[in-house]
Amino acid sequence: MKILVLGCGTSTGVPLIGCTCGVCTSANEKNKRLRPSVLVSANNLDILIDTSPDLRTQALKFNVKNIDAVLYTHTHADHIFGIDDLRMFNYLKTGEDKFIPIYGSETALNFIKDKFDYIFKEKSESSKPYLVPNVIKEPLEIKPGLKITPIPVFHGRNLIYGYRINDFAYITDVSSIPEQSFDLLKGLKALMIDALRYKPHPTHLSLEEAVIISGKINPAKTYFTHMGHNIDYEEITGICRCGRDDLIPSWDGLSFEL
Residue in 140, 141, 118, 142 with CA at minimum distance from that of residue 130: 118
- Cα torsion 6, 189, 258, 177: sign: negative
Structural domains in the chain (count): 1
Helix or strand holding residue 30 (H, E): none
Q: What is the pLDDT of residue 98?
A: 86
Q: What is the pTM of this model?
A: 0.96
- Residue 104: what pLDDT? 98
d(CA 170, CA 39): 11
> Domain containing 187 — which CATH number?
3.60.15.10
- pLDDT at 242 (0 to 100): 72
pLDDT at position 142:
87
- In this structure, are strands 190-194 and 221-225 parallel, antiparallel, or unpaired? parallel
Taking only the tens place, the pLDDT of each residue in 237-258 is 999 877 678 999 999 999 999 9
Low-confidence ranges of the chain (pLDDT < 50): none
Dihedral angle of Cα 131, 63, 59, 197, to the nearest 10 degrees: 120
Q: What is the pLDDT of residue 243?
A: 61
Q: Output the CA angle 155-59-142, nearest 5 degrees.
A: 65
Amino acid, res. 171: I
pLDDT computed for residue 124 by the predictor: 64
Residue ranges making up the domain that contains 164: 2-257
**What was the pLDDT predicted at 83?**
98
Q: Where are the beta strands (DSSP E) in 100-216?
A: 100-104, 131-135, 140-143, 146-155, 158-165, 168-171, 190-194
* Distance from the Cα of residue 43 to its chain's centroid: 19
Strands 2-7 and 140-143: unpaired
